[in-house]
Amino acid sequence: MPEGDTVWQAARRLHEALAGKALTRSDFRVPKYATVDLTGRRVLSTVPRGKHLLTRFEGGLTLHTHLRMEGAWKVYGTDERWRGGPGHQIRAVLGTADRTAVGYRLQVLELLRSTEEERVVGHLGPDLLGPDWDPERALANLFTDPARPLGEALLDQRNLAGIGNVYKSELCFLLGATPWLPVGALPADRAEKLPGLAHRLLESNRDRPVRQTTGLHRHDLFVYGRAPRPCLRCRTPVRVADQGDGSQDRPTYWCPTCQTGPAPAPGAPQRWRERYRRTPT
């Protein structure tokens, strides 16, 4: 699933391609909006809010999209071939005189009045890459349920917006805590560092084509996608297990030596298997 930095990059691409220009093409390929035509309207901006994208048009309309697991916005030149996927996966097309933005596999797509944006993003916590970022509020949100596992609390966009499964695993590693450690059991000195660390990770990656959390030349990530290869710090095999409420389990990576706290029992059933990324150790 795209994370806050990926969505921030998508918003920037859409804004640079469309903002300030009138639409010469408008095509929504979902039944609810099949007859809607925004041709002639000027695009005002595209802004990210956590993992949500808000594209605003003159006349007080906003297109709200969410990439979920496999969605993507691609921007093409006038004569450039569209290469984001087969035609039946296209959900929206927004074109100007010199650029065309094509939305593939968008699981959330809705048009609403710009005055109603809070209806779809008002529940989100402070945005790690947004102007509303508030580390104290984010930390307070995380600790409203001290018994909740750290990994689940980090993924809850109502606490702080922008963390996905990759950053969840990497943050827990950098904090030295397993994702199953109750938030309230996190030592105070590490808890105080959490919001700032999360902010630095996303801020440093928002302009990078390849996400990097290690600072190492040969390795991009500490634990995510590395099971069962050795931990970069201690050489213990990295482990992976599902974490979630059963309806939205996510593969979660951790080092059983570098990270303290509870973990799933060996042999716990997995709802789906991760294909490990094959990279050199």
Active site residues: 2-3, 51, 250
Residue 98 sits at φ, ψ, to 5 deg, of -130, -5
Token readout for 255 is 């080092």
Rg (C-alpha) for the chain, rounded Å, is 20
CA 170 to chain CA centroid, Å, is 14
Euclidean distance between CA atoms 87 and 81, whole angstroms: 12
Nearest CA-CA partner of 194 in 160, 238, 243 = 160
Burial class (CB in 10 A: 0-12, 13-18, 19+), 4: buried
Query: Which residues are 73's β-sheet partners?
Result: 103
Euclidean distance between CA atoms 51 and 6, whole angstroms: 8
Distant-in-sequence contacts of 171-174, Cβ < 8 A, 24+ apart: 171/197, 171/198, 171/201, 172/254, 172/259, 173/222, 173/223, 173/253, 173/254, 173/255, 173/258, 173/259, 174/213, 174/222
Find all residues with CB under 8 Å of 251, minimum gap 6, and list them.
165, 240, 241, 242, 272, 274
